Structure 1
């Protein structure tokens, strides 16, 4: 190997390392990052950061808008692919199947990907009229019980950063008032369970509980969901205990058999 070849390989490795370092800054960090912040954090020039960012944007790993740069659809797709391989799916499957049989309603598994929630798995209700979800589709955390239970247990700084963003109304029942949403999240954090009646889908009801990973952080949620008319106060009260217990069982299995 010539010195020139070795130098090119060394340079390529260094560039790849810098690209990886830039992407890792977005993992669990602020939703948006700018050139100056990345340059300061990694100790590399703004010109180099700008070139890396443009390359990542061209591959949809990042997106650029007036707020700065954020993870793009390609990065989210990679995250979903990784989450699908997490042991949590193995831990959740038998529990969610049993929960589906106990409630007669569809049960779901969601994962936290960047600042959104993605359905990872579902076990469909045997009812002819039932709710089904689109596995792999992204949703905001503020709308629906599966997202709200994740949002309620995020670190305060990250939660407040998300609440500072515009909150889209997916249905007339979506809570977009920040004060009202904070009150709901506080109640969810105390109870360990979230309830939604028409917040993400107008005719749907759901009860959800958070899932915590081996690191003790919230990484997802499970839910029981179905047509809103079947989610009576009596049914919701019954599902609260069942979903909470199921989530605790999945978390326990996941963290002890990873």
Structure 2
């Protein structure tokens, strides 16, 4: 005889199961980075067996993940991808547009908005310089985080475990100026993290200069970056210092506009 099939969840049973999964995931939007079975069980009033089955299902789909030597679960790469997809559709573009237009006019250079997608970034929007000779970017194309000011601004703002994961991979040279030495890049990221601004002079694209700052979402996590970019010969040290202040303030303004009312965790 063929094995018996597990009956599909229908009606209220299916709705309840979906609600439990959603409630588990929502717990990861606040509080500690790692959550264990007992904590989730206590917070949601579910049995440990039910919680464990939900967690294993989410891990199998990479929505959650575990780390060696750490007790508990954290958000996985699939959750990051979902968050990045939501970011591209979210009103961060609405919040960023007037700020980036003013930044473009204040600097005379192209301004950009990038989003974090997995362990890479993509350009989501640009406001082109009105200068005859200018830099433009390719919307939607993925770039590594270790090359260019936007990528480094994001990388420097990631949680340490995730930053280390990115740095453990291959650091490919995109130009002769790309920093591919692990220790040198780590030192630079430490400085960027402290100052809140990254600078690139031909590291991602030969002949291009840029200054970028990370975009921190309402959840306190980095979701992307903004930048001023143009021909490297126009990026004198004096202009770079001016752009650093302008970009940092622009990123802070976007973050403030992006922030919404606080969310309440399920009980």
1:203 and 2:244 are equivalent in the alignment: no
Q: What is the CA distance between 1:190 and its match in structure 2?
A: 1.3
Extract unaligned runs of 5+ from structure 1.
30-41, 57-69
Q: What is the CA distance between 1:164 and its match in structure 2?
A: 1.1
More helix by share: 1
CA–CA distance in 2 between the matches of 1:13 and 1:135? Answer: 38
Once the two structures are overlaid, the 10-residue window that deviates more, 81-90 or 123-132, is 81-90
Alignment of 1:225-240 (within 5 A): 225-240=229-244
Q: Deviations over 1:59-114 (max 9, x none)?
A: xxxxxxxxxxx969xx95x7655322212111100000000000010000111111
Extract unaligned runs of 5+ from structure 2.
1-5, 34-50, 62-75, 263-267
Report the aligned-residue RMSD. 3.8
Q: What is the CA distance between 1:150 and its match in structure 2?
A: 0.8
CA–CA distance in 2 between the matches of 1:223 and 1:113? Answer: 17
Distance 1:192 1:8, change over 3 A: closer
Distance 1:7 1:251, change over 3 A: closer
**Equivalence for 1:131:** 135
CA–CA distance in 2 between the matches of 1:215 and 1:235? Answer: 32
**Equivalence for 2:94:** 90
Deviation >3 Å, runs of 4+? 4-17, 78-81
CA–CA distance in 2 between the matches of 1:255 and 1:10? Answer: 35
* TM-score, normalised relative to structure 2: 0.70
* TM-score, normalised relative to structure 1: 0.73
Q: Deviations over 1:4-49 (max 9, x none)?
A: 98668999999999x99xxx9xx9x9xxxxxxxxxxxx956xxx98
1:163 and 2:167 are equivalent in the alignment: yes
Q: How many residues align?
A: 226
